Structure 1
Amino acid sequence: MTQPNTPICSIVPPYLLDRLVELGDEDARRSREVDTALRATRAAQPAARPGPTGRPGRTIADAEHLEYLPGRTVRTEGGPPTADPAVNRAYDGLGATSALLLEVYGRRSLDGAGLPLHATVHFGKRYDNAFWDGRRMVFGDGDGVLFGDFTHCPEVIGHELAHGLVQYGAALAYRGQSGALNESVADVFGSLAKQYALGQRAADADWLIGAGLLGPGVRGVALRSLKAPGTAYDDPRLGRDPQPSSMDGYVETDQDEGGVHINSGIPNRAFHLLALELGGAAWERAGRIWYDAVTDPALRPDTDFTGFARATVAAARARFGQGPVPQAVAGAWKQVGLAVD
């Protein structure tokens, strides 16, 4: 069930919006106010129940540019496409993530029991974010200058839904290293959902979160890069991507819930290194190891980077035996500054 402390997990980090607010950006100011209000007033909601077939049904609602949820239902499972591209992109994105979970990992939706998938589009006016609130995905249209429509990026949809996978799996606490793992797992499975839908091999994927989301005048390619943390953007308004790529650059901060969107670059890069080392499609072996680790009942909510690294090595051994695969997992973590047995 949805836990009372399930966080609001947004794709645009708060420190980015805070920087824009300091520069006088009114859209960012309003978006930040909305985010703060959502976190302050959010109450725990009962989890939706699986459909009779045990497979996830999709429901897309339209907030009609108001700040209310869930909005007016405009498309349901099996219904025809609408005239609104954002509705159709959200519907297809939910389906792509659901397909990855079911067809690759045998998991029926986020909870493993066919939990229905809900999303709301056109939330607010020029709202610069998308988020998972423990029950549904919510998409803003962006301001059209710095950020575009958040439904354009399938990996953003996969990222937010993957927060639900964590919620019903390890329930990693959204603070410090466990929170950075929460964000990293969401990035990993968001990227895998996109790669699976496109049939890409690990070596051919872009490994970006938010590819094409940034406005045409922004100096950057995405919000984050799993391949090269710290290189996604370097812009006079957004600043420079602060993600470290190894423990040597680990950021100690009270902002961003202890750096959950910042330090997630470290486990992100470990996964990318492993995926390249193993070769082929990243969802097959590297993704299976991460899936096994994050859904292991023994994984604690306060797990830190070292604890998760050990869990992935153990998962690799359990599934692939002693030999090159668990060695590759340990080697990937060593390259980002985490030595594990």
Structure 2
Amino acid sequence: MKRHSLACILPPDLLVSLARDATHEQRLALLQALNVDSSFRQARAETAARLVAPVRLALAAAGGTPRRFIYDQQHSQSPTPGTLVRHEGDPPTADASVNAAYDGFGATYSLYWDVFQRDSIDDQGMPIAALVHYGTAFDNAFWDGQGHMFFGDGDGRILTDTTRGMDVIGHELTHGVTQHTANLVYSGESGALNESISDVFGSLVKQYHLGQTAAQADWLIGADIVGPLLKPALRSMTAPGTANKHDNQPADMTHFVQTTSDNGGVHTNSGIPNRAFAVTAITIGGSAWLAPGTIWYETLNDPRLKPNSTFAGFAALTLKNARTRYGATSPEADAVRAGWDAVKVPVQ
């Protein structure tokens, strides 16, 4: 049972798909990314194996200010932080990647604190570290489960500078939030829920920062970091399977993908709960971080949510939480049901 695997924004299946049509030079870069992916997955699995139950911590006594540390890896692939170049309260530097990582961490902290009163990843003011310029033209960004987010500069064709993706940063840091709340097993449907929750809150980070309504948002993940081979985005929450020519996400349970790769298709089948959230948010209208975000956040923190939850189990809890907070016959509860109905997940 895998509590956590390495949380990369580009999954291994996509890297393999890209390698099939890549030039020799591009294939070398993709193999490098896959090699790093494999090494970090093993290290993280060993750490995660020691987590035998969800970590649910009490609300910290004080909060409201992030604790950010930005390190320059100078193209090293070392898993330990390099040179500290900016920390909390420091002015911007001459390095745009450093500043973008700092701002993305701040935007993620702001969503969780302002809207959900959560003090950082562990709700106890946990410091968060960015390791920018990781590797040479490295095509990925990932969270290692131990307080570090690694940012590749991209090769310009597959990905560009990954620090530019505010939703990508929100996605990766949310893997840490999930680790400290529901601790969803990173395999099968529970793993796809894990990935979906990161996409949901990653999108909300971007929407909150830009002040967008659900109707105004593009609901695309990674649109700001993809190169020409993956345009226009990595994933679409409203139309799974249409984000780029390699996108094979299903849009409903009828097309659920049965596979043994990528921990049982965690990045593929996440399109189903992604669409359920987007439909819910658009149906309710207004700011998606308010009622829809609150329902999903309360479900993530609900003690009834099991680490091996299925889509149907998660869906049932979202409806229960919507009814409890907003009323059994409220528009919010009706919208939650409409969201899951749209993806053919039965909900009672």
Shared topology, TM-score over 0.5? yes
2:84 alignment partner in structure 1: 73
**Structure 1 residue 225: Cα displacement:** 0.6
CA distance in 2, matches of 1:312, 1:81: 40
Match of 2:36 in 1: 34
**Match status 1:18 vs 2:19:** no
For residues 264 and 4 of structure 2, the distance between their equivalents in structure 1, rounded to whole angstroms, comes to: 17
Q: Which runs of 5+ in 1 are unaligned?
A: 235-239
Residue number among 130, 135, 147 corresponding to 1:119 in the alignment: 130
* 2:284 matches 1:278: yes
Q: Tell me how far apart the structure 1 counterparts of residues 18 and 223 of structure 2 sit (CA, whole Å).
A: 20
Match of 2:101 in 1: 90
Q: Over residues 269-322 of structure 1, what are the superposed CA-to-partner deviations in whole Å (9 max), with x where a residue is unaligned? A: 000000011000000110110000001122110001000000100110121121
Match of 1:44 among 47, 50, 59: 47
Secondary structure of the equivalent of 1:44? helix
Separation in 2 of the partners of 1:335 and 1:261? Answer: 20
How many residue pairs end up in the alignment? 331
Percent identical across equivalent pairs? 49
Q: CA deviation at 1:169?
A: 0.8
Where does the alignment leave 5 or more consecutive residues of structure 2 unmatched? Answer: 52-56
Secondary structure at 1:218's aligned position in 2?
helix
2: CA distance, partners of 1:111 / 1:38: 21
Question: 2:185 matched to 1:179?
Answer: no
The alpha-carbon deviation at position 66 of structure 1 amounts to 0.5
Secondary structure of the 1:202 match is coil
Q: Which amino acid aligns with 2:218?
A: D
Q: Match of 1:247?
A: 253
Partners of 1:227 and 1:123 lie apart in 2 by: 32
Asked if residue 194 in structure 1 is aligned to residue 206 in structure 2, the reply is yes
Task: Measure the CA separation in 1 of the matches of 2:12 and 2:88.
Answer: 33
TM-score when scaled to structure 1?
Answer: 0.93
Cα distance, 1:326 vs. partner?
Answer: 1.3
Structure 1 residues 198 and 315: CA distance shift in structure 2, 3 A: same
Q: 2: CA distance between counterparts of 1:109 and 1:132?
A: 15
Cα RMSD between the aligned structures?
Answer: 2.0
* Within-5 A mapping of 1:163-242: 163-215=175-227, 217-218=228-229, 220-234=231-245, 240-242=246-248
In the aligned structure 1, how far is the partner of 2:124 from the partner of 2:326? Answer: 26
Match of 2:335 in 1: 328
Residue pair 1:51, 1:115 contacting (<8 A) in 2 also: no
Check the 8 A contact 2:138/2:152 in 1, yes or no: yes
In the alignment, the residues of structure 1 paired with residue 258 and residue 140 of structure 2 have an alpha-carbon distance, to the nearest angstrom, of 25
Aligned equivalents of 2:61, 2:140: Cα separation in 1: 33
Alignment pair present for 1:141 and 2:153: yes
Aligned to 2:54: none
Equivalents in 2 of 1:316, 1:242: separation in Å?
Answer: 31
- TM superposition shift of 1:146: 1.8
Task: Tell me the alpha carbon deviations over residues 24-71 of structure 1, each in whole angstroms, 9 at most, x when there is no partner.
Answer: 411001111111111223453999x99995443111111110011222
Measured after TM superposition, the shift of residue 218 of structure 1 is 2.7
Paired residue type of 2:77: E
User: Which has the larger displacement, 33-42 or 139-148?
Assistant: 33-42
Equivalents in 1 of 2:61, 2:180: separation in Å? 20
Q: How does 1:283-298 map to 2 (within 5 A)?
A: 283-298=289-304
- For residue 111 of structure 1, report the CA deviation from its aligned partner: 1.5
Name the stretch that deviates more: 201-210 or 30-39: 30-39
Q: Partners of 2:116 and 2:200 in 1: how far apart?
A: 14
Q: Secondary structure at the match of 2:102?
A: helix
Pairing partner for 1:9 from 7, 10, 23: 7
Q: One-letter code of the match for 1:148?
A: T
Q: Which amino acid aligns with 2:10?
A: V
Partner Cα separation in structure 2 for residue 219 and residue 5 of structure 1: 29
1:337 corresponding residue in structure 2: 344
Q: Which residue does 1:237 correspond to in 2? A: none
